[in-house]
């Protein structure tokens, strides 16, 4: 996509972190913004901040795990701005814990947001973009955790691997049609956002579904390492710039990751190629 001015971008998880920074970056290119987010106070604040910078912005409270909410988000975007050109399926949450310890509620919550959120985004928005028959771009947020398998993060890893393959397949489906609509997958490493405080938006009652004491011990150490990584991570504006450039230059893979995380991906690919047992990674990624 080469034309950004007066075009429309929908950003889920747009009230915070990577989503908000990308909305700001696209607004700086003259795009109109539609932010979908589950956290009403943060959403209002994000809309006001972008408006104060001169952008035209619509905020729609959205739970991306619900197809009806995502359909409403699209409808509101079309009513207000008459079209959609960039769709950033970015909302995401995280939990830690050993694979067999995570509760059903953990699995349902994280799969609901990270995977079903992207599925609903694709099913809702891609037909709209195709009907417009103009240049458009879908960016789905996965993670370097979609290219590695760090211990203590099964639920999150599953969703991010799924988003990588979903987006690679979407890319192929669009390419076979010769569509002017393109796709990219975003794989950040550690980024300094509120991802480790995801539970702030959890709707289920965690008190009725507590982790076991064993899970808490491992969870606590992994949680600590991840928190530290995120705290030391790149600024979200770094990711936002790469997302913008990837849309402009039609690049599929968007990376913003620390060198040691790239090395962990290399190691995994080498193990697959050599059919060697995986060496347990010591470098975590969110
Ligand atoms: P963040 O917590 O700052 O922002 C996430 C946003 O998603 C928040 O505004 C939150 O309210 C919203 N959200 C949560 N549940 C939602 C739901 N059900 N429906 C709609 N919105 C919802 O975190 P961050 O880091 O900006 O997260 C954005 C994406 O980046 C996520 O998909 C995350 O998994 C991914 N990511 C983050 C990394 C990091 O180190 N921060 C690394 C790799 C990937």
Does ligand 1 come within 6 angstroms of the Cβ of 150?
no
Asked if the structure places residue 283 within a domain, the reply is no
Asked if the structure places residue 269 within a domain, the reply is yes
64 Cα nearest atom in ligand 1: 19
Residues 6+ apart with CB under 8 A from 190: 229, 230, 232, 233, 234, 257, 258, 261, 285, 286
Asked if the structure places residue 286 within a domain, the reply is no
Instruction: State the average pLDDT for the chain.
Output: 94
Distance of alpha carbon 76 from alpha carbon 80, whole angstroms: 6
Distance of alpha carbon 137 from alpha carbon 78, whole angstroms: 16
Give residue 96's pLDDT: 93
- CATH code of residue 177: 3.40.50.720
Domain extent at residue 224? 8-274
Distance of alpha carbon 229 from alpha carbon 135, whole angstroms: 37
Distance of alpha carbon 180 from alpha carbon 34, whole angstroms: 21
Give me the percent of the chain exceeding a pLDDT of 90. 90
Q: How many domains, in total, are found in the chain? A: 1
Give residue 221's pLDDT: 83
Does ligand 1 come within 6 angstroms of the Cβ of 91?
yes
Mutate to test the pocket of ligand 1, among 92, 140, 253 (most ligand atoms within 8 A of CB): 92
SS (H, E, C) 239-274: HHHHHHHHHHHCCCEEEECCHHHHHHHHHHHHHHHH
Distance 167 CA to ligand 1 centre (A): 18
Distance of alpha carbon 119 from alpha carbon 163, whole angstroms: 9
Does ligand 1 come within 6 angstroms of the Cβ of 191?
yes
CA atoms within 13 A on the CB side of 170: 26
- Higher-confidence residue of 211 and 191: namely 191
Residues 6+ apart with CB under 8 A from 148: 157, 261, 264, 265, 268, 281, 285
Distance 62 CA to ligand 1 centre (A): 13
Distance of alpha carbon 99 from alpha carbon 84, whole angstroms: 39
Does ligand 1 come within 6 angstroms of the Cβ of 38?
yes
Distance of alpha carbon 214 from alpha carbon 220, whole angstroms: 10
| pLDDT tens, position by position, 91-143 | 999 999 999 999 999 999 999 999 999 999 999 999 999 999 999 999 999 99
Q: How confident is the model at residue 248 (pLDDT cuts 50, 70, 90)?
A: very high
Give residue 203's pLDDT: 79
**pLDDT greater than 90 at residue 280:** no
Q: What is the DSSP string of 193-221?
A: SSGGGGGGG--S-GGGSPPPHHHHHHHHH
| pLDDT tens, position by position, 4-52 | 999 999 999 999 999 999 999 999 999 999 999 999 999 999 999 999 9
How distant is the alpha carbon of residue 248 from its chain centre?
19
Q: Which of 4, 109, 156, 255 is catalytic?
A: 156
> Would you call 156 a catalytic residue per the annotation?
yes
Asked if the structure places residue 156 within a domain, the reply is yes
Distance of alpha carbon 110 from alpha carbon 83, whole angstroms: 30
Asked if the structure places residue 3 within a domain, the reply is no
**pLDDT greater than 70 at residue 262:** yes
Asked if the structure places residue 264 within a domain, the reply is yes
Alpha-carbon dihedral angle through residues 90, 96, 98, 99, given to the nearest 10 degrees:
-20
Asked if the structure places residue 188 within a domain, the reply is yes
**pLDDT greater than 70 at residue 87:** yes
Asked if the structure places residue 117 within a domain, the reply is yes
Does ligand 1 come within 6 angstroms of the Cβ of 12?
yes
Cβ 85 vs Cβ 129: under 8 Å: yes
**pLDDT greater than 80 at residue 171:** yes
| pLDDT tens, position by position, 47-83 | 999 999 999 999 999 999 999 999 999 999 999 999 9
- Report pTM: 0.96
Does ligand 1 come within 6 angstroms of the Cβ of 155?
no
Cβ 116 vs Cβ 93: under 8 Å: no
């Amino acid at each position: 996509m080469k034309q950004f001015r007066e075009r429309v971008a929908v950003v889920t998880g747009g009230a915070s972190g990577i989503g908000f920074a990308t909305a700001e970056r696209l607004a700086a290119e003259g795009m109109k913004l539609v932010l979908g987010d589950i956290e009403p106070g943060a959403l209002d604040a994000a809309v006001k901040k972008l408006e104060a910078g001169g952008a035209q912005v619509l905020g729609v409270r959205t739970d991306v795990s619900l197809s009806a909410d995502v359909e409403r988000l699209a409808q509101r975007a079309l009513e207000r701005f008459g079209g959609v050109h960039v769709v950033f399926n970015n909302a995401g949450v995280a939990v830690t814990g050993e694979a067999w310890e995570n509760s059903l509620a953990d699995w349902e919550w994280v799969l609901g947001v990270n995977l079903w959120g992207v599925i609903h985004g694709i099913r809702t928005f891609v037909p709209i973009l195709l009907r417009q028959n103009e240049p458009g771009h879908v960016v789905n947020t996965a993670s370097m955790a979609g290219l590695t398998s760090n211990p203590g993060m099964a639920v999150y890893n599953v969703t991010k691997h799924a988003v990588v393959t979903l987006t690679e397949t979407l890319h192929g489906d669009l390419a076979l049609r010769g569509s002017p609509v393109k796709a990219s997958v975003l794989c950040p490493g550690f980024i300094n956002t509120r991802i480790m405080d995801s539970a702030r938006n959890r709707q289920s009652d965690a008190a009725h579904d507590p982790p076991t004491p064993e899970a808490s011990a491992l969870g606590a150490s992994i949680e600590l390492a991840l928190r530290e990584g995120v705290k030391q991570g790149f600024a979200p504006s770094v990711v936002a710039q790469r997302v913008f450039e990837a849309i402009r230059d039609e690049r599929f893979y968007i990376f913003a990751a620390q060198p040691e995380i790239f090395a962990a991906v290399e190691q995994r690919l080498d193990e697959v190629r050599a059919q060697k047992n995986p060496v347990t990674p010591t470098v975590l990624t969110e």
